[in-house]
Structure formats: C-alpha cells, structure tokens
C-alpha cells in the first residue's frame, strides 16, 4: 500500500473514533525512520486508547504491520508505529507539554478531514498532491 493510501487509512480511522485536532507532517528528509507523523487528540484516557486501537485494527485489516504500540497502560499518549507513518494519540495537556508539532511540524501535509470541511494545513504548507 502506498504512502498516500496509508495516510488516508490512518486519517479515516482517527475520524471514525472522533479524534480531535488531527495534524499530519511530512518527515521525509528529517529522518530516515518514517515519512509521516500524525498527531491527534482524545478527550480522555479511554478515548485516546480507543483511537489508537482503532488505527491499529484498521491497519491490520489492510495487511499493514504494527511495529510498535506503546502507552496503552496510561492512555495519556499512545503511539502506533506503522513503519512509514507514526501516529501519536495524545490528551491535550500532554500534547501541549511535549509540543511534537514544533519538532516535526516543518512540513504540514494538506489533508481532507471530514469533520473540518476543506483541507487542513497552513497556506505555505507542503502539499501532497496525490492525497485522495
């Protein structure tokens, strides 16, 4: 499955579980470990765990390997490593404290979110023209 389809699968799974403030960043050139970082928020430990579990479940259904699934014990920050994409499901206070957007946010990816209408990203953002 190509990167754009994986990205869409992750975003759809996040939206299915009502994840909030979904952001996608292109990390190609910043690290050789993965090409996308996706950050999303959940309103409670239970929701954050559910969001991450649903992403992992949907990825497995499509034949993707889950390389790591961490943080489920507390649910404050759950990480799902899909190889090319790393998904961070975080509670807002934890997300604000660690501010991953500052670390990985140099190249936001314009994505279409169902909950927000038009594509999300800053005007000067790097865009993924193949994104469906």
Map out the domains of the chain as residue ranges. Answer: 3-104
Please tell me the predicted confidence (pLDDT) of residue 6: 96
Q: Which CATH superfamily is domain 3-104 in?
A: Beta Polymerase, domain 2 (3.30.460.10)
> Can you count the helices (H) and strands (E) in the chain?
4, 5
pLDDT value for 131: 40
Segment 37-76, tens digit of pLDDT = 999 999 999 999 999 999 999 999 999 999 999 999 999 9
66 within 8 A of 81, measured Cβ to Cβ: yes
User: How far, in whole angstroms, is CA 1 from its chain's centroid?
Assistant: 17
Strand, coil or helix: 114:
coil
The answer to whether 40 and 22 are in contact (CB under 8 A) is: yes
pLDDT tens digits for range 15-33 = 999 999 999 999 998 888 9
DSSP 2: -
Locate all alpha helices (DSSP H) within the chain, ordered by sequence.
3-16, 45-61, 92-98, 100-104
pLDDT value of residue 114: 74
Written in H, E and C, the secondary structure of 100-112 is HHHHHCCCECCEC
pLDDT in tens, 85-126: 999 999 999 999 999 999 998 888 988 787 554 444 433 333
């Amino acid at each position: 499955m190509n990167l754009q389809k994986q990205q869409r699968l992750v975003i759809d799974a996040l939206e299915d579980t009502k994840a909030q403030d979904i952001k996608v960043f292109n990390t190609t050139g910043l690290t050789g470990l993965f090409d996308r970082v996706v950050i999303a928020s959940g309103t409670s430990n239970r929701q954050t765990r559910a969001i991450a579990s649903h992403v992992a479940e949907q990825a497995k259904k499509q034949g993707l390997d889950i390389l790591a699934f961490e943080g489920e014990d507390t649910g404050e920050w759950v990480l799902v490593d899909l190889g090319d994409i790393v998904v961070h499901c975080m509670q807002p206070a934890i997300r604000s404290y660690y501010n991953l957007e500052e670390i990985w946010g140099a190249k936001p990816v314009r994505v279409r979110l169902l909950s927000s209408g038009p594509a999300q990203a800053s005007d000067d953002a790097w865009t993924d023209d193949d994104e469906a």
